[in-house]
């Protein structure tokens, strides 16, 4: 299968590309600069252009591009960057796909658990209603841009990804150095549900969805979501470090600004669609995931 990937240099994309290649797929990376070789395709997500000649012949697109949600404080300007990078990028790639004489048959489009907002103890399935807040608004607009692809007969799966356990970025990329220093602990009372998934299972799930007939929203989180306190404790144990000092919620607000409300929110997300499709998690529980994370 020839697979085009946007966001190939990001946390998930940089792990996905070599995994796809190792599985025998041909990968075309979409880049914002002039293409440096036959395995690259130039695109301008904000300008709405894609090199259609290079994109032609692809069988599937994995669209992961978007400004990092936790990379900067949420000023009004950066919030617009988060929104526009997702809406404009998705619109651009969908228009390019549908403009081809033979469109790719599959679009796996990035999305996020932020769709559900802060939901406390509620169990969240793909059929659950959207929540409230900035990220819920972003995800709703982001996912809506894939509708023309589905209307054109392309199979579309929306990757509602949770908190990715990895050393190279995301929430855990920030959490690990604190725990390794012996000064990390649960956030607040630690009772909020964290919809975690290891980077390994995230990549494996994307490959699984490329090859299995699944459409619509797909929750990408482990089948056993865990409370923040349990996640922190498991990671600390795997690293051999104490996690007895809680992080006050107000301290996160100082460091992260408005984004802190999403870190302290509770999302008890269950991957019902992914599990029903036959996917087998390498790390279904937080203890095995924490041990894997500590080995990276």
Whether 179 maps to a domain, the answer reads no
pLDDT band at residue 257 using 50, 70 and 90 as cut-offs: low
- Which of 162, 180, 167, 114 is closest to 281 using CA atoms? 162
The span from the CA of 238 to the CA of 290, in Å, is 6
Whether 248 maps to a domain, the answer reads no
pLDDT digits (tens, 9 = 90+) for 226-240: 999 999 999 999 999
Cα 210 to Cα 29, 155, 162, distances in angstroms = 16, 10, 19
The span from the CA of 110 to the CA of 164, in Å, is 13
Whether 96 maps to a domain, the answer reads yes
Q: Please check the confidence at residue 272 and state whether its pLDDT lies above 60.
A: yes
The count of domains in the chain is: 1
Tokens found for residue 255: 């460091």
Whether 229 maps to a domain, the answer reads no
Tokens found for residue 33: 């600069």
Query: pTM (2 decimals)?
Result: 0.95
Give the CATH number of the domain where residue 52 resides. 3.40.50.720
Q: Please check the confidence at residue 207 and state whether its pLDDT lies above 70.
A: yes
The span from the CA of 140 to the CA of 189, in Å, is 30
Tokens found for residue 290: 């924490």
pLDDT at 256: 62
Cα 263 to Cα 24, 37, 188, distances in angstroms = 37, 40, 11
Token pair 């990329």 is found at: 173
pLDDT band at residue 253 using 50, 70 and 90 as cut-offs: low
pLDDT band at residue 262 using 50, 70 and 90 as cut-offs: low
Token pair 């998705």 is found at: 90
The whole domain housing 113 covers: 2-165+196-223+268-282
pLDDT at 176: 85
Whether 251 maps to a domain, the answer reads no
Whether 46 maps to a domain, the answer reads yes
Whether 171 maps to a domain, the answer reads no
Residues written for the chain:
296
Whether 243 maps to a domain, the answer reads no
The span from the CA of 109 to the CA of 122, in Å, is 25
């Amino acid at each position: 299968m020839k697979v085009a990937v946007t966001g190939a240099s990001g946390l998930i994309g940089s792990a996905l590309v070599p995994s796809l290649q190792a599985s025998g797929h041909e990968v075309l990376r979409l880049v914002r600069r002039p293409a440096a070789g036959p395995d690259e395709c130039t695109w301008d997500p904000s300008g709405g252009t894609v090199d259609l000649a290079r994109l032609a012949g692809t069988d599937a697109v994995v669209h992961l591009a978007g400004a990092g949600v936790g990379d900067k404080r949420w000023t009004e300007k950066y919030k617009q960057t988060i929104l526009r990078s997702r809406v404009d990028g998705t619109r651009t790639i969908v228009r390019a796909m549908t403009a081809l004489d033979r469109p790719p048959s599959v679009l796996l489009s990035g999305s996020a658990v932020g769709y559900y907002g802060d939901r406390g103890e509620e169990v969240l399935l793909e059929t659950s209603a959207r929540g409230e807040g900035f990220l819920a608004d972003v995800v709703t607009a982001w996912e809506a841009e894939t509708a023309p692809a589905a209307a054109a007969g392309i199979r579309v799966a929306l990757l509602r990804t949770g908190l990715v356990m990895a050393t190279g970025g995301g929430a855990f990329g920030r959490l690990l150095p604190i725990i390794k220093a012996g000064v990390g602990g649960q956030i607040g009372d630690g009772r909020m549900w964290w919809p975690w998934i290891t980077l390994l299972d995230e990549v494996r799930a994307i490959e699984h969805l490329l090859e299995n007939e699944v459409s619509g929203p797909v929750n990408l989180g482990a089948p056993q979501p865990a409370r923040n306190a349990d996640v922190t404790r498991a990671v600390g144990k795997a690293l051999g470090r104490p996690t007895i000092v809680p992080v006050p919620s107000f301290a996160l607000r100082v460091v992260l600004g408005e984004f802190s409300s999403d870190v302290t929110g509770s999302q008890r997300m269950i991957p019902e669609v992914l599990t029903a499709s036959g996917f087998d998690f390498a790390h279904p529980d937080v203890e095995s995931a924490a041990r894997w994370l500590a080995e990276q």
